[in-house]
Amino acid sequence: MESEVFENLRLELRRGSLILAVLAQLRTEQYGYVLRKSLTDLGLAIDENTLYPLLRRLETQGLLASQWREEDKRNKRFYRLSTEGEAILARLLAEHEAMNAALDRILQAATDAPGPEEEREETNAIQ
């Protein structure tokens, strides 16, 4: 039960980050298989059944442009960030940085705050 809850939350947490990673990685043109490998090599493994539908969705939204081209005697679909995608990515990255900074401050504040044990000790010392 606990692991199921964790898994759902983990997927939720990953969802936004994956989009950001895919958009950022496609600043240089790549086809699906190479993109997935490069993301895995950089520490962000992504399932094929998540990546390819995501690429199509981003393309439908106008953030990516694609082109079928022959390479190594096989037809491959190459994706790259569109002009609109670049603008959106810049805004998303700014948002991501702001969120990360806020989260860092929240976590730091939580670490600095005295725990229940310390509070009790302080109260006893005053008395």
Partner 1 sequence: MPSNDMLARYLQAVGFWLPPATKQDIIAEISEDLHSQIDDRAASLGRPLNDAEVAEILKQRGRPVVVAGSFLPQHQLIGPIMFPIYIFVLKIVALCYFLPSFVVWLGYVIFDPSFGGLHELGMFWSLVWTAFGIITFIFAVLDRTSNRSKFISEWDPRKLPKASHKQPSRKRRDIGAIVFGILYLGWLLVVPDFPYLVMGPAAYFVKFATVWHSIYPWLIALAVAGILEATVSLLRGLPAWEPPAFKIANNCVCLWLLNMLWSAQTYFIAQAPQFQQYAVAANLIARICIAGTALGMLIALVAEAWHLVRALTEPRESAVTRIA
**Residue 76 touching partner 1 (CB under 8 A):** yes
Q: Applying CB under 8 A, which of residues 1, 5, 12, 74 lies at the interface with partner 1?
A: 74
CB of 38 to partner 1, least distance (A): 13
Pair 92, 23: CB distance under 8 Å: yes
- DSSP line for 10-73: HHHHHHHHHHHHHHHHTTS-EEHHHHHHHHHHTT----HHHHHHHHHHHHHTTSEEEEEEEETT
**Residue 59 touching partner 1 (CB under 8 A):** no
Q: Applying CB under 8 A, which of residues 19, 24, 65, 77 lies at the interface with partner 1?
A: 77
Measured from the CB atom, is 36 or 63 closer to partner 1?
36
